Amino acid sequence: MIDYRVLVAAIAFLLVLLWRFRPELSSDDARPPVRGLEAAKTDAERVDILVTAGERYAHRIGGARKASACFTRATRIAPESVDLVVRGARALKRHPRILETFLWRRLGAAPWAGPEREVARAALAELVTVYDAASRTRPRARALEQVLASLDSVAAAPPAAPPDAKDAS
- The predicted pLDDT at position 10 comes to 92
Assign residue 57 a region (left: φ > 0; alpha: ψ between -120 and 50; beta: otherwise).
alpha
- The predicted pLDDT at position 131 comes to 93
- The predicted pLDDT at position 116 comes to 87
Cα–Cα separations (whole angstroms), residue 24 to 15, 17, 37, 47, 57? 15, 11, 22, 24, 11
Q: Which residues of the chain have pLDDT under 50?
A: none
Question: Residue 20, Cβ neighbours under 10 Å: how many?
Answer: 10
Is-contact 23 57, C-beta < 8 A?
Answer: no
- The predicted pLDDT at position 129 comes to 94
- The predicted pLDDT at position 132 comes to 92
- The predicted pLDDT at position 31 comes to 57
CA atoms within 13 A on the CB side of 89: 21
Domain ranges of the chain: 30-156
Using CA atoms, how far apart are residues 103 and 122, in angstroms rounded to an integer? 9
- The predicted pLDDT at position 88 comes to 94
- The predicted pLDDT at position 35 comes to 74
Is-contact 109 79, C-beta < 8 A?
Answer: yes
Using CA atoms, how far apart are residues 111 and 79, in angstroms rounded to an integer? 10
Is-contact 123 85, C-beta < 8 A?
Answer: yes
> How is residue 28 annotated by DSSP?
G
Among 91, 115, 113, 114, residue whose Cα is nearest residue 103: 91
pTM across the whole model: 0.72
